[in-house]
Amino acid sequence: MSRSRALTAWLLLSIVLASVLTLIGLPEPLRVLRPFWLALIVIYWTIEAPEHYGIGFAFALGLLQDVLIGTMLGEHAFRLAIISFIVLRFRSRIRFFPMWQQALAVGALLLNDRIVVLLLRAIAGEFTIDWRYWLAPLVGAALWPWIFLLLDDLRSRSRQRDA
Amino acid sequence: MPVYSAEGAPLFSEGSGGSLRLLAYLAIAAALMAVDLRTGLLHQARIAASAVISPLQTIATAPLRIAKSVREATAQRTGLVLENADLRKQLLFAQAKLDRLAIVQEQNNHLRALLDARQKLGLNVQLAELIDVDLDPYRHRILINQGSMHGVFVGEAVIDAKGLIGQVLNVEQERATVILLSDPSHAVPVRVQRTGLRVIAYGSGDPMRVELPHVPFSADIKVGDLLVTSGIGGRFPPGLPVATVYKVETDNSATFAVAEARPLAGIANSSELLLVSDEALALTPLPAPEAEFVGPPEGLANDAPMEPVP
């Protein structure tokens, strides 16, 4: 009971942090590099606790994100649902990948997400990109090991404290 | 909650439950997007959720604000003195220009009175500050700190000291979203100042470039020409500088010229903006300027997309 409450607290905290990082003001050249923070959070929790955090969880988070940053309502929900689905499908493998392979897998997921965004925006209206559009997934992949270790550490700590 | 779980499932299992779930969620998301595009559902959701959004936004923009105030606080005195002198000089120049403009304005009013034309009101100008550039650098939107509370309305023109930046796309209570003229779905009716040629400037997706497709081949437009808003359609007040032409070339069919122009405003880096409206104009569109007509057919020019396609 208390353990799951601590977990929920970590979950909420990670979501709030991801939201702030998404909204945080960056200088112009760095803006294109901003990784899809919420996706990283969703990937982590889907890998670690799929019985609690499945596609519905990702979808709900996506809707929140849409409202928060003012994209088309449903856009982030769509993207996160796809990510969550793929992670669930390959969870048992990804989980035991060495860290660099995990990062590669995350990079591939984020790249796929970029393609999804491109399609969605193309359907919704005109949308142009340049080559820098494809850099953000690389940043996401590079950040993954650190995020994974950080979240894992926090989680195991809260578990120990409760035990 | 019955969640599809890979626990205990073989690797690469074809869990039809998972696929169905995914399809259902994707369908809901797609439906939401379609509804949102038609009705602006999101806008209402944002208004409802602004109690949560505002504090998060405040937290997120804090580092930038702190950095700015630290920079201001630590600025060298000599630097400030220099800047002050510089500003003073600029003010003087601006004042001189204004004085001259005032005379021209008076003359203009006089002539208008003689012609019995309807008097135009002056521009309403309102200062706004940039809160954030859109989180997605590929959507040319910015957020400003003025909203419906301050009398901002949808379609109001946004300029900086040098030229047009864009127009207000939607308004919340304390902030508003501005679509930049570089957005691919944005179009501004403009006039070549030198000749009066009327054209439409489309966003290109690049903040340093707007495009003027379909300029008649015979039209008089050349590199260095200044483009100003024409005021046709009643959305933008006429005469705001927009861009300078830097390239004119023939399109593939050799029947039209295609020109490219560089926006005058610092679209990517202005942080102090002005909201400009001309209420008399908003009510009744200006009669077309009596420049020689070389632009697109009359009907076309008037029906041209004035608003971003939502």
pLDDT tens across A59-113, in order?
999 988 888 877 778 889 999 999 999 998 888 888 888 888 999 999 999 999 9
Of B35, B58, B74, at which residue does a domain stop? B74
Identity of residue B299: G
B3–A128 C-beta distance less than 8 A: no
Q: Is B33 an 8 Å CB contact of chain A?
A: yes
Average pLDDT over chain A, rounded to whole?
84
Confidence of residue B283 (pLDDT cuts 50, 70, 90): very low
B66-117: per-residue pLDDT in tens? 877 787 777 777 788 888 889 998 898 888 888 888 888 888 877 777 766 5
Residue B206 has pLDDT above 90, yes or no: no
**A residues 107-136 lying closer than 8 A (beta carbon) to B:** 120-121, 124-130, 133
Question: Which residues, 6+ apart, have CB-to-CB distance to B175 below 8 Å?
Answer: B131, B143, B144, B145, B146, B147
Q: What is the largest CA-CA distance in chain B?
A: 89
Domain-located, residue B185: yes
Confidence of residue A163 (pLDDT cuts 50, 70, 90): low
pLDDT for position B291: 44
Cα A54 to Cα A47: distance, rounded to the nearest angstrom = 10
Q: Is A55 an 8 Å CB contact of chain B?
A: yes
Closest partner residue to B32 among A54, A55, A74, by Cβ?
A74
Give bridge partners of residue B128 from the DSSP assignment. Answer: B273
Q: Are strands B157-159 and B141-144 parallel, antiparallel or unpaired?
A: unpaired
For residue A25, list chain B residues with Cβ-Cβ distance below 8 A: 60-61, 63-64, 132-133
B224-275: per-residue pLDDT in tens? 888 988 888 778 888 888 999 998 887 777 778 888 999 988 877 777 788 8
Only one residue has tokens 């205990």, namely B8
Give bridge partners of residue B158 from the DSSP assignment. Answer: B166, B275
Of B74, B98, B122, at which residue does a domain stop? B74
> Could you give the number of structural domains in chain A?
1
Closest CA to B225 of B256, B202, B204, B248: B248
Q: Comparing B53 with A95, which gets the higher pLDDT?
A: A95
Do B299 and B185 belong to one domain? yes
ipTM of the complex: 0.80
Of B74, B94, B110, at which residue does a domain stop? B74
Closest partner residue to B59 among A20, A72, A89, by Cβ?
A20
Q: Kindly calculate the radius of gyration of chain A based on its CA atoms and give it in whole angstroms.
A: 16
Average pLDDT over chain B, rounded to whole?
75
> Could you give the number of structural domains in chain B?
2
Q: Which domain holds residue B43?
A: 17-74
Cα B90 to Cα A148: distance, rounded to the nearest angstrom = 54
Domain-located, residue B100: no
pLDDT for position A115: 92
Cβ-contact A79, A73 below 8 angstroms: no
pTM greater than 0.80: no
For residue B138, list chain A residues with Cβ-Cβ distance below 8 A: 121, 127-129, 133
**A residues 1-40 lying closer than 8 A (beta carbon) to B:** 16, 19-25, 28, 31-32, 34
Domain-located, residue B169: no
Cα B277 to Cα B124: distance, rounded to the nearest angstrom = 5
B32–A67 C-beta distance less than 8 A: no
Confidence of residue B16 (pLDDT cuts 50, 70, 90): very low
Domain-located, residue B239: yes
Domain-located, residue B134: no
Residue B8 has pLDDT above 70, yes or no: no
Length of chain A: 163
Domain-located, residue B232: yes
CA atoms within 13 A on the CB side of B309: 13
Q: Is A68 an 8 Å CB contact of chain B?
A: yes
Cβ-contact A95, A50 below 8 angstroms: no
From the CA of B173, how many Å to the nearest CA of chain A? 15
Domain-located, residue B140: no
Domain-located, residue B23: yes
CATH number reported for the structural domain that contains residue B192 in this entry: 2.40.10.350
Closest partner residue to B30 among A20, A71, A78, by Cβ?
A78
Cα B179 to Cα B169: distance, rounded to the nearest angstrom = 6
CB pairs under 8 A between A and B: 155
Closest partner residue to A74 among B18, B30, B57, by Cβ?
B30
Q: Looking at residues A121-140, what average pLDDT do you find? A: 82
Cα B164 to Cα B4: distance, rounded to the nearest angstrom = 52
pLDDT for position B295: 47
B60–A128 C-beta distance less than 8 A: no
Closest partner residue to B7 among A22, A51, A77, by Cβ?
A51
A54–B22 C-beta distance less than 8 A: no
